[in-house]
Structure 1
Amino acid sequence: MTQDKKNKFRINILGESHTVTTDQPQGYIHELSDTINRIGSDIKNAYPYIPKRRLNALTLINLADLKHKAEQEKDKVIRERDRLAQEKEELEDELNRLRQDNDELMELLQEVE
């Protein structure tokens, strides 16, 4: 049985060093830690004397908020995609009906001529 190769990375999150073991690329893990640090820094800049536990909690709340909003946006896009697919199907049906009507009218015109 083959195990996926795991990589260990040292990252800094909100001033603390952490080791991450993952099968994800190092660049991706650093992007995640950069996002966490950016949000934490924004909070720290707004509240310079905030206790570390509160900073961590507010950072997590902000990350959860971003995730929730992204999921809502994804759901909205999926609903819009489904609506557009339904509308496309209806328009294709109408186009086929109009083509059929056109063919019938062309036959009638040829009979009249």
Structure 2
Amino acid sequence: MDNVSVNRVRVTIHGMDYTLKGTAPTSHLNSVANTVDKMMTEISSTSTYMDERRVAVLTALNLADELERLKQEYQELLSLLDDKTRGDGSP
């Protein structure tokens, strides 16, 4: 069995306490929680009529959109790099 260390960290996201567990460093877990908390706070402050579920879903959609855009940019960069290493790209 692997000797993988599981880290636990208590965080507060949009006023609710959670315990996150994962193999990532606690600083990473805190950073992820802070990102979600910040986005939920921003969304709820501009849309006060939304309940918590809608705020959470809209946050998830915004984060998924950001992820998809970053994946696309990453693939474009890999393609450019591949073109340069094969000599197909212009300077």
TM-score (normalizing by structure 2):
0.87
What letter is aligned with 2:25? P
Structure 1: tracts of 5 or more residues without a match: 90-113
Stretches of structure 2 lacking an aligned partner (at least 5 in a row): none
Deviations 1:8-29 (A, max 9, x none): 1111122211111112111111
**1:62-81 counterparts in 2 under 5 A?**
62-81=62-81
If the length of structure 1 is used for normalisation, what is the TM-score?
Answer: 0.71
- What's the offset of the Cα at 1:86? 2.1
C-alpha change, 1:82 and 1:2, in structure 2 (3 Å) is closer
Alignment of 1:37-76 (within 5 A): 37-76=37-76
Runs of 4+ in 1 over 3 A off after TM superposition: none
> With CA pairs under 8 Å and 6+ residues apart, which has the higher RCO, 1 or 2?
2
Q: Which has the higher helix share?
A: 1
Report how many residues are paired.
Answer: 91
Q: Does 1:11 align with 2:11?
A: yes
Cα-Cα RMSD? 2.1
Aligned-pair identity (%):
24
* Rg (Cα) greater in structure: 1
Distance 1:2 1:78, change over 3 A: closer
